[in-house]
Amino acid sequence: MSISKKWKKYIALGGILFLFPLGFLLLFGKVAKHKFATLKYYGTESTEALDSSSYTVPAFVFADQSGKAFSSDSLEGKVWLAAFYSLSDPHIKKITERLLNINFKYRFEDDISIVVFSTDCDHDTQPLVQRYTEQLTRYNAATDKWQFLSGNQQAMQSFIRNGFLIDDLRNEAIFRLVDNEGHVRGLYGNTEYHILNAIEDIALLKKEIDLKKYNENKALGNSH
């Protein structure tokens, strides 16, 4: 066998070895359905993903940092992180820093917000809360993306307990991720690990919502 024929043989064999896995991947891509990870739904207990009948956060109205009424209607269609803590919390600096990380990450996303529910409304008076939120604007925490809600202590505690199904807020700040339809989709504590998970889950939830909208628009297009 001549050298040229020998090289042609090696080249042909190499081409087959290269094309076979490529062809398999292309075939697999056509027949396999793409599956995206989705977050669980939470209520009285965890349920399987994509359970649209899951528990939703009830409507509410509380006073924001400006003393104006802020209702859940303002969050319609948005993804938002509910935070539960007080400005009297001894770990307020760490809590704020971690929320600032989330706010900075999604500072250009109009449909992502942070909503704080005071766990000590008697301490978190409107002037104190306003000073706190005004300080946050120095760190890219626009007031329209970060609401701090306070008001009547008994009404707030009742809402947190019955609306978010949280019984004990004495230990540390905690967070809940709520989707654009009012479902609770993530539970977090006040640690760096939990906050990193929340950042990733927000991105995952956004992807899920965008994919759902894409499929709905595609279905509408195919129906005409």
Q: What is the pLDDT of residues 103-121, one digit of tens each?
A: 888 888 889 999 999 999 9
Percentage of the chain beyond pLDDT 90 is 50
Residue 203, Cβ density class (10 Å: 0-12 exposed, 13-18 middle, ≥19 buried): middle
DSSP 75: G
pLDDT at 22 over 70: no
pLDDT of amino acid 43 = 76
Query: Mean pLDDT over residues 170-191, rounded?
Result: 89
Percentage of the chain beyond pLDDT 70 is 74
Numbers of helices and strands, H then E, in the chain:
5, 7
pLDDT at 20 over 90: no
Asked whether 128 and 94 are in contact (CB, 8 A), the reply is no
Query: Mean pLDDT over residues 83-100, rounded?
Result: 92
Query: Mean pLDDT over residues 158-176, rounded?
Result: 85
**Matching residue, tokens 């129906």:** 223
Per the prediction, the chain carries an average pLDDT of 81
pLDDT of amino acid 24 = 40
pLDDT of amino acid 25 = 39
Least confident of 49-58, 181-190, 192-201: 49-58
Task: Give pLDDT tens digits for 26-62.
Answer: 443 443 344 446 788 887 554 444 455 678 999 999 9
Backbone dihedral angles phi then psi of residue 93, each to the nearest 5 degrees: -65, -45
DSSP 73: G
Query: Mean pLDDT over residues 184-199, rounded?
Result: 92
